[in-house]
Structure 1
Amino acid sequence: MAIGLRPTLNSDFTITINFNKNEFMQKDMDFLLCHFGQEFSTVGKKRKFNEPDLDTAVLYTKIKVDQISSKLNSKIAREYQMSSPTSKCEFSFSFERDLVCIGGRYCKFSRSLPQSPWATEIGEVPEPGKSVSEKICKVLEEYFKADSSRFTTSGREDIDVRMLGTGRPFAVQLLNCRRLKPLSSLSQVKTLFDLQKKINEDIDIQIRDLCRVTSKEAQILNVGQEEKKKVYSAVCYTQVPITEEMIKHLKEKYPLEIVQKTVVRVLKRRPLLDRNRTIYFMSAMKLDEFHFLLKLETQAGTYVKEFVTGDFGRTRPSLADLMEIELGKVDILQLDVEHVDLDWPPKSIHAV
């Protein structure tokens, strides 16, 4: 080959060559339509009476032509009249590497940092670099000289919620990396350790267990979302004095099945549904006359804030119901995610 490289099926480097020759396009279309008119007449629905014929170009999709080409036999092929081209064939080529996936877990310590780019007003452009995904992806993109990246996580926390404990599982898919030698078997561990250290210079986030994973392994993050469990801690406030009887009621109520209508704050982007969720564990500790610390282990997808507040009666039972307090008299001041139950990164991978 002109580039001096030997083709191999095991390479992660792909060269795509596109040939463009339209000189005989109409002639080829007419030939296929003449011999396979019945196949091309199927357009997915019946035409109405007096409806004009569709443009034949609409029917000649790549899939349709592939199907018809497989039905060609030698007799039909001999009827095709070959002609010499009068113009040169145009071509273009592109180079691309396979996706490179980097996995790990992240902690978020700020209560004003979103997981992904986020704007305060509709139509406003998000401020660049002010999200967890950008803080992580920017470092990886620049180091591996990637064209772009995609940030995938196991769930998400609200902008004002901290992610603590061992962190939330994530994977970064890097597209068309131009620098891969540092990921060779001999230098991979040191490379990822140095990148992890660089990202952790940011005071708002911290990552751990950085490692290279496959695209198939990265799909684990989106599998069985509702079967996962998450642990939360919340500082709550009541408008009535807290009694030991109220605290005792909470300890006796788990495991607990709750029903949550799509919460008000996400109604604009989520369908209106009733969602059944499970509270696996619940305990409370009184801090003073009006404040208490709540610990929860819940099914993934549970809206914890709305479980505490009741969301105007849209969550039943709510924490107020369990404490036998009037709806609207309990609120949540601070919320933290303490654990996301997922074996990530895979144990077979050596993480730094």
Structure 2
Amino acid sequence: MAEKKAAKDFEKKISKPKMLKIAKNILKNKKLCLNCLGRQFGMISTGLTNRERGIIITKILYKNSFKEPSKCDACGGIFKNLGKIAEKAVKKLKDFEFETFVVGTKLSDDIVMKEESLWEYSDTDYAEPIKSEINRELGKLIEKKTHKKSNEEKPDITIIFDLRKNEIFFETAPLYIYGRYNKLVRGIPQTKWDMYKETVEDIIAKPFMKATRGKAHALHATGREDIDAKCFAWRPFVLEINQPKKRKIDLKKIADEINRSKKVVVKDLRFSDKKEVVEIKTKKPNKTYRVLVEFEKPVENIEIVKKIIGVIDQRTPKRVLHRRADKIRRKRVKNIRWKRINDKKYEFEITGEAGLYIKELVSGDDGRTKPSIAELLNNPAKVKELDVIKIHIPDRLKR
């Protein structure tokens, strides 16, 4: 019913003398297939394909005597071969898991020039670009053959038809996995570092890459612990997997595999999105650390370390000066507690703002951090062990 109404509406509009004159002029000088003819008037109405528009135009002009040319002067026969082109893509798509897709095309310069020449010659203001029609019609064919949905806003896969070379390429949308991790061993960095063979990211990503057959990965986390620090705070992260072929994966099975490494353990795995990556990276929560400190001399008057609570001026530590700007940062120590191990060794629990350098808070870093625990006690101090034990993320920021 709607299609008949759309056809009548188009027939009424195209029957105007101005429109018929344009159509006659085009067909007098160009051999066009029905798709390319109808496309010159594609912006006039909705509810019809360009081929259906072409049929209506030729019936008005030639009754039933119009014969479609074997080769179109505009598309060169592309529309006649769309079924075969789509079938070729469908066969290759069997290697991918997806629910939504979008189609893109690359056309030869010759086709583009022919289209622009036709527009200039016909003087039509109602034409739809050929690329738009090809994308749409290929999309319809692929939808029908795969039972998947075309979705320009959020496609799982982009199908690129390079009609210049008769090739098809596929670009899959990244897969995002949210989770939280603990690092149980010292000596491994969170992300890639040339000096280290293994990273937290690698340990987490390995089973995901195997399951998804992705090409690359990136770990986005709420901060990072030092290489020689452990993390028992269940640090939030999102793992981004690029160009995955498989999207339906067993997160519980993957978590079990990661946890068997006994170096990193994960929990709360779930599918995520790019928006959460931004949230993860922009959160700046307070953190609590367990710090085992060894002093040069026996400690006297330990209570004085309470004065560390408050604002700290930290000049960029010497150990990171090669990769960070040399400037003073003001950070706040929120709380400090301690437990005596012996005269020269204490275990501290320190809560501070994100970005507070704990090792330098203890040692003073040759006066670059003020005040420091070493300065307050007038006793050189060194961190022997450092663990992140809590990341203070407000409930409203937790998903």
TM-score relative to the length of structure 1: 0.68
* Cα pair distance change 1:290/1:24, threshold 3 Å: same
Partner deviation per Cα, 1:166-217 (whole Å, 9 max, x = no partner) = x2111111122211234xxxxxxxx111110011110111111111112112
One-letter identity of the residue aligned with 2:244 = C
Partner deviation per Cα, 1:102-153 (whole Å, 9 max, x = no partner) = 0111111111111123233xxxxx53xx111011111101101112211111
Work out whether residues 97 and 175 of structure 1, in 8 Å CA contact, stay in contact via their aligned partners in 2: yes
C-alpha distance in 2, partners of 1:22/1:262?
A: 59
Q: Is residue 339 of structure 2 the alignment partner of residue 280 of structure 1?
A: no
Work out whether residues 12 and 97 of structure 1, in 8 Å CA contact, stay in contact via their aligned partners in 2: no
Tell me which residue corresponds to 1:106: 181
Residue number among 104, 108, 123 corresponding to 1:16 in the alignment: 104
> Which SS does the other structure have where 1:206 is aligned?
strand
Tell me which residue corresponds to 1:317: 371
Q: Is residue 267 of structure 2 the alignment partner of residue 208 of structure 1?
A: yes
Tell me which residue corresponds to 1:193: 252
CA drift of 1:284 comes to 1.7
Work out whether residues 19 and 90 of structure 1, in 8 Å CA contact, stay in contact via their aligned partners in 2: no
One-letter identity of the residue aligned with 2:298 = P
CA drift of 1:24 comes to 8.5
Task: Indicate the structure (1 or 2) with the bigger Cα radius of gyration.
Answer: 2
Structure 1 residue runs of 4+, over 6 Å off?
22-25
* Cα pair distance change 1:13/1:345, threshold 3 Å: farther
Tell me which residue corresponds to 2:389: 338
CA drift of 1:258 comes to 0.5
Work out whether residues 320 and 330 of structure 1, in 8 Å CA contact, stay in contact via their aligned partners in 2: yes
With 139-148 and 338-347 compared, the bigger mean Cα shift is at 338-347
Tell me which residue corresponds to 2:352: 298
* Cα pair distance change 1:24/1:179, threshold 3 Å: closer
C-alpha distance in 2, partners of 1:272/1:91?
A: 55
One-letter identity of the residue aligned with 1:192 = L
One-letter identity of the residue aligned with 2:367 = G
One-letter identity of the residue aligned with 1:3 = A
What aligned pairs does 1:63-82 form with structure 2 within 5 A after superposition? none
C-alpha distance in 2, partners of 1:215/1:23?
A: 37
Q: Is residue 304 of structure 2 the alignment partner of residue 229 of structure 1?
A: no
CA drift of 1:275 comes to 0.4
Work out whether residues 16 and 93 of structure 1, in 8 Å CA contact, stay in contact via their aligned partners in 2: no
Paired residues, number: 266
C-alpha distance in 1, partners of 2:240/2:381?
A: 42
CA drift of 1:15 comes to 3.8
State the superposition RMSD in angstroms: 2.9
CA drift of 1:292 comes to 0.5
Tell me which residue corresponds to 2:170: 95
One-letter identity of the residue aligned with 2:200 = V
Q: Is residue 229 of structure 2 the alignment partner of residue 161 of structure 1?
A: yes
CA drift of 1:157 comes to 1.1
Extract unaligned runs of 5+ from structure 2: 1-82, 91-97, 125-162
Work out whether residues 308 and 371 of structure 2, in 8 Å CA contact, stay in contact via their aligned partners in 1: no
C-alpha distance in 2, partners of 1:24/1:193?
A: 51
Partner deviation per Cα, 1:3-27 (whole Å, 9 max, x = no partner) = 357xxxx9543443222427988xx
More helix by share: 2
C-alpha distance in 1, partners of 2:286/2:109?
A: 56
CA drift of 1:257 comes to 0.3
One-letter identity of the residue aligned with 2:346 = F
C-alpha distance in 1, partners of 2:251/2:367?
A: 48
Work out whether residues 20 and 89 of structure 1, in 8 Å CA contact, stay in contact via their aligned partners in 2: yes
CA drift of 1:287 comes to 1.1
Residue number among 144, 151, 155 corresponding to 2:219 in the alignment: 151
Work out whether residues 105 and 170 of structure 1, in 8 Å CA contact, stay in contact via their aligned partners in 2: yes
C-alpha distance in 2, partners of 1:143/1:344?
A: 32
C-alpha distance in 2, partners of 1:99/1:89?
A: 27
Q: Is residue 269 of structure 2 the alignment partner of residue 181 of structure 1?
A: no
Q: Between the two structures, name the one with larger relative contact order (CA 8 Å, sep ≥ 6).
A: 1
CA drift of 1:92 comes to 4.0
Extract unaligned runs of 5+ from structure 1: 32-72, 79-87, 121-125, 183-190
Work out whether residues 13 and 96 of structure 1, in 8 Å CA contact, stay in contact via their aligned partners in 2: no
* Cα pair distance change 1:11/1:277, threshold 3 Å: same
Work out whether residues 235 and 335 of structure 1, in 8 Å CA contact, stay in contact via their aligned partners in 2: yes
> Which SS does the other structure have where 2:253 is aligned?
helix
Tell me which residue corresponds to 1:48: none
> Which SS does the other structure have where 1:3 is aligned?
helix
